[in-house]
Structure 1
Amino acid sequence: MDDQNKNLILATVLSFLVVMVWFWLFPPEEPELTDLPPVAEAADVTTPSVAAETTSTPTTTPAASETVAEAARIAIETPEFKGSLSLQGARIDDLSLTQYREELADGSPIVHLLKPVGEAEAYFATFGWASAEGIAADQVPGPDTIWSVESGDALTPETPVTLVWDNGAGHIFRTEISVDEDFMFDYVQSVENTGTSNITLRPYGLLRRHGTPADLKNFFILHEGLVRMTDGELEETDYKKIVDYDLDPREGTQAVRLEATENGWIGYTDHYWMTTLIPEQGTAFRSTSKYFDSRDLYQAEAVMALQTVAPGETTEVTTRLYAGAKEWDAIRNYENEEGVTGFLDSIDWGWFFFLTKPIFWLLHNLNVIIGNMGWSIIALTFILKALVLPLAYKSYVSMAKMKELQPEMEALKEKSGEDKQALQQGMMKLYKDNKVNPAAGCMPILLQIPIFFSLYKVIFVTIELRHAPWIGWIKDLSAPDPSSIINLFGLLPWSAPEPGSFIALIAIGIMPIVLGVSMWLQQKLNPAPTDPTQKMIFAYMPWVFMFMLGGFASGLVLYWITNNVITFIQQYTIMRSHGSKPDLFGNITSSFKKAPPAKDAPAKPKNK
């Protein structure tokens, strides 16, 4: 490998080191946590109201602060949920995920996804109607309307609930709410016109989030905030950019709205959880993202097409609400089997989606067969290495020959002295005579980089790795190795340093140490750089990476260890098959015939 190629590799490695060190020394600032006091909804928000197809004039909802805590509730019970919906606004505002806990520790509370107004970080979904013609704004149900129960005592997958509201002006509104065994609610909104004239109005669903979530990661690799699909176009907007929206005169606040002519959805995504409004696919609707500065409140709306209801007629519209964990299997089912267009893109696959999607698909299916994510990562690594072996084979052969030529290269360097041009010409002749391609050794590194970052993305963003155990002390593959050299990996009675602290970066665990050793062994098979400075940097690199990756997810470290071990075995075997006999702790000997040294170069020194 010539100096130019070594410089390319060195620059890549150093750039990676600089980025990692920067995020250690200057991590993103944690958001300031504040408790939001109970507030009346009317003081904060407006609901969509439509005077015509092309205009939207916000109208303030009636104040109902005294009914927030008093409105009756209906229990929600499913295999995934427990909670309740409020008869005020037919709100789903109390929802906990029974299969997920906040922390891995025993006794940790289950994840509380949606919360009613009056609690910190209130977050809920509600549905209603916006008036247009023939019906007044106070004659349609909104976020604060108190509904009555027409049928159903509890909301379960087997028992839907029907709510009813009569405006007293000849119009009866109903909302039938059902839920499946995963994370999807169905809202069937209907209006019966018992009056004497046509009415025009449109149904909507909205999500309201009071403030940013307390556990906001603010990490560059992860998207948290608004996510929406509009006719095949995915939009991801973080909370900071939502706050910076320009004032939209049509909405009367900071807002960005998009018109979908066919398919789409809109909602908010967290690291592992998501709430999304999904209008009927194949129908036009308007999605709007708003921010109300007065109360630090975010609102996502799905407003459906105008409905004109003649006297004696009834019309209905179905809107779906996904509220729960971003489980790949469930989301894929809603996309493939139930027609939610592009729903898998609600998971943040990143720029390398063409790699992250198939890698996770393979990892998921391996886990279905094996039943353990740790062993599945190891199996995945074997498969990936097998796929790239044809490309890597020539590289390993070239690197074996390069290592054989190391003594001749050293002799040529000593003979050339400071004459860089003569050294370059001599090395090129040496490569040509021995049919060696120095650039071929770069191929394994170039192949490894996108795969590594794609797997890093998969392990970081997918909920399937969250709290997934492997063996022994590794209880969470999405978290760093909890063992530490400080307490001799659990043999001494004191605890390990807290994750994220400076001491924890130094007092690494078992897996990072194994990683460093595996990198060192693999490096011993590679030809050493002729430049002393480069040689020193490459010698320290395994131990630098050992500390750098010590704070990474243990699933990623497990992948890297497995990759290094497989690479070492492949490279060692290929070198032996070509007559090279690697000596990991000394020089290298060879049994195959060497090409004669260059005429200008001194005789190759014999190994002692």
Structure 2
Amino acid sequence: MDDQNKNLILATALSFLVIMTWFVLFPPPEQTVDPNAPATSETAESTEAVTTPTASTTGGTASTVAADNGETEVADAPRLSIDTPSLEGSLSLQGGRIDQLSLKNYRQTLKPGSDIVELLQPVGSDAPYYALFGWAPGAGLTPDQVPNANTIWTVETGDTLTPDTPVTLIWDNGAGLSFRRQISVDTDFMFGITQTVENNGENSSSLAPYGILVRHGEPADLKNFFILHEGGIRMVDGELAETDYDDFEPANARTTENVTETGWTGFTDHYWMTTLIPDANSGARFSTYQNSRSGIYQADAALGTQTVAPGQSVSAHTRLFAGAKEWETIRTYQNEEGVEGFLDSIDWGWFFFLTKPIFWLLHNLNALIGNMGWSIIALTLIIKAALLPLAFKSYVSMAKMKELQPEMEKIKERAGDDRQALQKEMMALYKKEKVNPASGCLPILLQIPIFFSLYKVIFVTLELRHAPWIGWIKDLSAPDPSTIYNLWGIFPWAGPEPGSILALIFIGILPLILGISMWLQQKLNPAPTDPTQQMIFAWMPWVFMFMLGSFASGLVVYWIANNMITFSQQYLIMRSQGYKPDVFGNILSSFKRKPKSDDK
């Protein structure tokens, strides 16, 4: 076995091993649950009260204690409509809660007439998920003297919440305190909530503003996919923390962090997110926890306790992001509106130093080209161009190794079974001819982290969701929907369900092209004479084809483009060094019948 074939097999086997490990650890996500399916009894019937804050009597931030407020939905509670270019829904005057919100520009599926994505839902629905705001009572106040989750507010101004028309709610506690809540919204996904309390009584009162995000149970479309974080997320003074749903602490052992300067906290899904963003230097305290009996998850932002003297008023401002994790929109909130580290709400992973620039380049290519599939191919060209100097050196070395093949065979004949003499003469030959037999592995090995980073980008970023390429490829974040099972749509029956064993076998057109492209790349060199090597090389393209058949189409497009560009580079560079790959002859030789062995 010559050293070049050894290196090629080693690099291919290592690449295969890494991808196989990745496939086992990070299998394709299971099919999502129908959001319109009946909810479980735990989610649908849970009317247990949320946990609400109380103000510190020492002037610090609000603390959080369990309080049964009998939190149930009032069926006939008045509502105000929410209507923006990106959102539609309503807020309930019961608690002034924002609890009904849908994303106008996103559909559940690609099927015609599919419903738009529903983000927030009120208590009594299949999956309650909402935002609450209020004041926690401090010294001199009782819980019924501050607005809570069930307080019925009155509209002071506005009848529909739009980017041009904020609304103001008012409630008087009948004991000298008047509460107002002004709610605004921009054209994207950011709400502004300004809470004001005016003291018309004779005594000072202490109280603390807060915001709560409440989620009854885990989301129906939870992926439970190792590569993706879903659950609690918070940024505290530049430090990001993530909490999976399995890791939420009960209320009596909740995770609590003080915010010195800036931060945000909330829940993140695959493509959607809700976060509370208190003003900077507001003395906020973040808490995340779960009511273990009801399965209700909470993320709180409790601000510092304030004292309001007779005749005075105090205010607090908190923003609420509720919408899609659009990279450009989130970047604007971070860079122009001071939400520190907001781009980290997108799960870039451990290889963020690769995933972030890869997505930035892909995003800008898409803005220029207007098609994400062609942008992936353009990205592949740029990556290959950046690695060309290394590839050139590698392919030049491979061409020289081919030229040295006759001399290497002579050394093997002279050395016979003396492995030490063989190794010594080989090393002397490499040194004399300035050839590095290991250089052929490096370009392949460098593709592995790039491959994984692109896989992460394609899976986690919203911009790839439902992004079409050509013809039948309508969603680059999903596997190729064509299948040999129905002869790629000729027969009327549907293909296997995504994630099933049959889906791994009856693969689509793109995986087939991938296998062929890998097979062609092998034909740049003659088949090895060793039977074991021949078997490995014969099976490798088709094993990869089936392995990657259930991966996102965008990733398969990248791999095909990478194979074809590599083929062209290697062919041209090796010819420039005097070695002429006989691709057509190597293909013909692979179909020749082998002579039968002599059994005599």
Q: Same fold (TM over 0.5)?
A: yes
For 2:470, the equivalent position in structure 1 comes to: 471
For 1:287, the equivalent position in structure 2 comes to: 286
Q: 2:98 aligns with which of 92, 102, 107?
A: 92
- Matches of 2:434 and 2:473, distance apart in 1: 47
CA contact (8 A) 1:148 1:165 kept: yes
- Matches of 1:538 and 1:587, distance apart in 2: 13
* 1:372 partner letter: N
For 1:519, the equivalent position in structure 2 comes to: 518
Q: How does 1:35-50 map to 2 (within 5 A)?
A: 35=41, 36-42=43-49, 45-50=51-56
Note if 1:205 corresponds to 2:211.
Answer: yes
Q: 2:191 aligns with which of 166, 185, 197?
A: 185
Q: How does 1:290-301 map to 2 (within 5 A)?
A: 290-301=289-300
- Matches of 2:64 and 2:582, distance apart in 1: 79
- Matches of 2:424 and 2:586, distance apart in 1: 26
Q: How does 1:345-356 map to 2 (within 5 A)?
A: 345-356=344-355
Shift of 1:522: 1.9
- Matches of 1:238 and 1:550, distance apart in 2: 29
- Matches of 2:509 and 2:31, distance apart in 1: 30
For 1:124, the equivalent position in structure 2 comes to: 130
Q: 2:113 aligns with which of 104, 107, 112?
A: 107
The structure-2 alpha-carbon separation of the partners of 1:265 and 1:415, relative to structure 1 and needing over 3 Å to count, comes to: same
- Matches of 2:80 and 2:233, distance apart in 1: 29
Q: How many residues align?
A: 579
For 2:87, the equivalent position in structure 1 comes to: 81
For 2:14, the equivalent position in structure 1 comes to: 12
Q: 1:227 aligns with which of 233, 243, 250?
A: 233
The structure-2 alpha-carbon separation of the partners of 1:584 and 1:411, relative to structure 1 and needing over 3 Å to count, comes to: farther
Which one is further off, 578-587 or 12-21? 12-21
The structure-2 alpha-carbon separation of the partners of 1:395 and 1:21, relative to structure 1 and needing over 3 Å to count, comes to: same
For 2:24, the equivalent position in structure 1 comes to: 22
Shift of 1:398: 1.1
Q: 1:195 aligns with which of 201, 207, 215?
A: 201
The structure-2 alpha-carbon separation of the partners of 1:328 and 1:30, relative to structure 1 and needing over 3 Å to count, comes to: closer
Q: What is the root-mean-square deviation of aligned Cα atoms in Å?
A: 2.5
Shift of 1:167: 0.6
* 1:109 partner letter: D
CA contact (8 A) 1:160 1:176 kept: yes
Flag the structure with more relative contact order, 1 or 2, with Cα contacts below 8 A and sequence separation at least 6: 2
Tell me the SS of whatever aligns to 2:214.
Answer: strand
- Matches of 1:421 and 1:441, distance apart in 2: 24
Q: How does 1:223-372 map to 2 (within 5 A)?
A: 223-242=229-248, 245=249, 253-372=252-371
Scaled by the length of structure 2, what TM-score is found?
0.91
Shift of 1:34: 2.4
* 1:474 partner letter: I
CA contact (8 A) 1:74 1:153 kept: yes
Shift of 1:22: 3.1
The structure-2 alpha-carbon separation of the partners of 1:70 and 1:49, relative to structure 1 and needing over 3 Å to count, comes to: farther
Tell me the SS of whatever aligns to 1:441.
Answer: coil
Shift of 1:39: 3.4
Tell me the SS of whatever aligns to 2:282.
Answer: coil
* 1:577 partner letter: S
Scaled by the length of structure 1, what TM-score is found?
0.90
Shift of 1:24: 8.8
Shift of 1:133: 1.7
Q: How does 1:369-384 map to 2 (within 5 A)?
A: 369-384=368-383
Shift of 1:351: 0.7
Tell me the SS of whatever aligns to 1:175.
Answer: strand
Shift of 1:54: 7.1
Deviations 1:187-229 (A, max 9, x none): 0111111112222211110100011111111111111011110
Which one is further off, 537-546 or 99-108? 537-546
Unaligned runs of 5+ in 1: 589-608
The structure-2 alpha-carbon separation of the partners of 1:328 and 1:105, relative to structure 1 and needing over 3 Å to count, comes to: same
* 1:56 partner letter: S
- Matches of 1:386 and 1:154, distance apart in 2: 54
- Matches of 1:505 and 1:57, distance apart in 2: 50
The structure-2 alpha-carbon separation of the partners of 1:541 and 1:74, relative to structure 1 and needing over 3 Å to count, comes to: same
Shift of 1:10: 5.3
CA contact (8 A) 1:374 1:477 kept: yes
Shift of 1:529: 6.7
- Matches of 1:139 and 1:433, distance apart in 2: 90
For 1:562, the equivalent position in structure 2 comes to: 561
CA contact (8 A) 2:52 2:64 kept: no
Deviations 1:320-361 (A, max 9, x none): 010011000100000001010000000000011111111111
Percent identical across equivalent pairs?
63
Which one is further off, 407-416 or 379-388? 407-416
Note if 1:424 corresponds to 2:423.
Answer: yes
Deviations 1:486-518 (A, max 9, x none): 222223343322222222211111111111111
Q: 2:176 aligns with which of 170, 177, 196?
A: 170
Which one is further off, 184-193 or 394-403? 394-403
